[in-house]
Amino acid sequence: MIKVIDLFAGIGGIRRGFEQAGKRKIKCVFTSEWDKFAQKTYLANYPNEKIWGDITKVSLNDIPLHDILLAGFPCQPFSQAGKKEGFNDIRGTLFFDIARILSEKKPKAFLLENVKQLKGHDNGRTLKIILERLEKLGYKVFCEVLKARDFGVPQNRERIFIIGFLDHSIDFKFPKPLKKNVKVGDILENKVGKEFTISDTLWAGHQRRKNQHKLNGNGFGYSLFDKNSEYTNTISARYYKDGSEILIKQKNKNPRKLTPREAARLQGYPESFKIPVSNTQAYKQFGNSVTVPLIEAIAKKMLKFL
């Protein structure tokens, strides 16, 4: 049995990917997530589990020993250039809490996920500090940007993955793209309520802004897709506001937003995944989540070494 802990857990996407990769061999022994709506969705799908809140307030004594640390952590500015000793260069950031757990509990491996922009954040200094800190903690570290659409979902989502092993003899290779043809039609529902069609006012506003951007010489603005599109743009946590990054064409009607179930499918969640929250919260949660099949592909590679 491989024990994992799920930090900044959201709705449990990273954990789910590992569970799908490891079948019955994965056991989650600790979960931390501060958002009450994300907790509600997590508990609907993992009932009777304890969810710890703010990780910055959790004592190391309350975190059990584990084999793999999982964390989709928020990216924050690092005020120092990494020249101070100890943890001073990362104190005050949420990465500090990952580092203190790794330092104390020394799991065999970890997986960290973040936005692609972490690579260039503060001219690359933030990522450099993170990688150096992980290496100082004794880990052999691997880092790569992967695309969701290479792993069986029709979404052009890029994320950075940082993986580490205590065993320095491990030569980890990130998974290669799956040769799997998918299209947006694969995630669309057959019947969709009229409440998902955007209003005349919103549609007019989208078109006006797009035309203005065009006059300014850039391609910003809404994006339209249909069932034959190869993939959508990245769904974001602010999708609930106007849906502009992913609008679905409709015949003789204004475009529509994705439904929450379609958003779940776009992130590779199974049909059995329960969505107990409002549409607004669901969009936030799936926009903030990970692409489950991509995590599964990484997990399969990691688990071979454990």
Give the active site residues: 75
Contact 55, 31 (CB under 8 A): no
- Residues in CB range of 100: below 8 A, 6 or more apart: 60, 87
Report the distance separating Cα 1 and Cα 85, nearest Å: 37
Please name which of 9, 291, 6 lies closest in space to residue 158, comparing C-alpha atoms: 291
- Residues in CB range of 154: below 8 A, 6 or more apart: 182, 183, 184, 186, 187, 229, 230, 231, 232, 266
- CA geometry: angle 229, 222, 117, nearest 5 deg: 85
Please name which of 226, 227, 231, 229 lies closest in space to residue 154, comparing C-alpha atoms: 231
Report the distance separating Cα 242 and Cα 203, nearest Å: 9
Strands 26-31 and 2-7: parallel
Contact 72, 10 (CB under 8 A): yes
Contact 300, 178 (CB under 8 A): no
DSSP, collapsed to helix, strand or coil, labels residue 222 as: coil
